[in-house]
Amino acid sequence: MRPYEGMMSERFQPELLPMSIGSLPHVDPREARDLILRHFPEVPSWPQLPKRSFLENMYVQFSEGFPGVVLERDRIYVDRTQDLSADLERLYLAYLENDLDVHAVSPAYAAGLALLSEAECNPCKAVKGQVTGPISWGLTVADQDRRPVLYDDVLADAVAKHLRLKAVWQEGELRRLHPTTIMVVDEPYMASFGSAYVALTRDQAVSLMEEVLSGLQGLKGVHCCGNTDWSAVLSTSADILSFDTYDYAESLSLYAAEVQDFLRRGGIIAWGIVPREGQKLAHETAETLVDRLRQAMNLLVRKGVSLDDLLAASLVTPCCGLGSLSLEDAERALALTAEVSQEMRRRYVLS
């Protein structure tokens, strides 16, 4: 395999390394962190732990400080009956001045992030974090009348700016651990983009994602664990496309020309080849998943995308976060991810 020649090559060589997506089912943050460090020492990430606390739900986790946000038992919403003008003014002032301190993510909301910051990053090649994307956050978090805040133009803009500040703050924290950072914007609701259930134009979707991405200095990516208009994601400034390869490889192959352009500008594909359903995990091995990953790549190769380009610009991941699994299944998924990476690297990188 020839060396990766993308724009990020001086800082980071993907080379089919394994990487985690986000959540784990553990309640002990140290145990979860150590598991990630064991399986993914080259590209560790901090684990989101939704079973530890409601505060670690992916929509609650980055809500701290948002104007009018209310946490009520197991519900999060924005109370628009309040006068939000003062809080919105503070948010926009922080945005204009890039004041990150007021948008820190507290340890109570992300225990894994706080613990990862204490770890030794050796033999790290990069360190990875994640933030919930503005589309998914804005469609999930509603107001007091259960209307998604994304459908309020003022609040939609505020969501994107708020999450940008959260992401940039986090990137700075991760940079203390290693100079090469990867920040992934999680957008599961992009799977509903273009449907009758989501009244969002392509320009709006790209603009919202771009607001968050454009604030980041290191490597940045977008993760979607369903089918979507991949051309919209690939048209952003994202360096990494992270997707559910196990179930949706064919959908990405419909955008072969866009993928080729993405690779030419230095893009990286994170292949989510390890499933997160317990029954599927029970029937898969590293060998079967390697075969499945090669078949997924070949869908693009048959449409003119260079296999060498794909191999050089690839990461190996689970298809999505593992927080809903049992501990046993989650640990098996992480182990399989590392094993698939090792076998792919043996065949294509280290041989």
pLDDT tens for 269-284 read 999 999 998 899 999 9
Is 130 among the domain residues? yes
Is 1 among the domain residues? no
Q: Which residue has the higher pLDDT, 123 or 18?
A: 18
| Domain boundaries, position 340 | 17-348
For 29-38, what is the mean pLDDT? Answer: 96
Q: What is the pLDDT of residues 126-158, one digit of tens each?
A: 999 999 999 999 999 999 999 999 999 999 999
Q: Is 266 left (phi over 0), alpha (psi -120 to 50) or beta?
A: left
pLDDT at 84: 97
Cis preceding-peptide flag for 14 (omega within 30 of 0): no
Residues 60 and 166: their CA atoms lie apart, in Å, by 13
CATH code, domain with 42: 3.20.20.210
CB 329 within 8 A of CB 35: no
Q: Is the pLDDT of residue 231 over 50?
A: yes
Q: Which two tokens stand for residue 285?
A: 């091995």
Q: What is the pLDDT of residues 157-169, one digit of tens each?
A: 999 999 999 999 9
pLDDT at 73: 87
Q: 193 falls in which pLDDT band (50, 70, 90)?
A: confident
Is 6 among the domain residues? no
Q: Is the pLDDT of residue 286 over 80?
A: yes
pLDDT at 350: 64
pTM for the model stands at 0.94
CB 47 within 8 A of CB 112: yes
Q: What is the pLDDT of residues 45-67, one digit of tens each?
A: 999 999 999 999 999 999 999 99
CA distances from 147 to 69, 72, 204, 319, 325 (A): 14, 17, 18, 30, 30
Percent of the chain with pLDDT over 70: 95
Q: Is the pLDDT of residue 197 over 80?
A: no
Q: Is the pLDDT of residue 234 over 90?
A: yes
Q: Is the pLDDT of residue 351 over 70?
A: no
User: Which 8-state DSSP code applies to residue 148?
Assistant: B
Is 324 among the domain residues? yes
pLDDT at 2: 36
Is 2 among the domain residues? no
Split into its structural domains, the chain has a count of 1
CB 100 within 8 A of CB 153: no
Phi then psi dihedrals of residue 323, to 5 deg: -65, -20
Identify the helix (H) or strand (E) that includes residue 221: strand 219-224
Amino acid at 218: G
Beta bridge partners of 272: 317
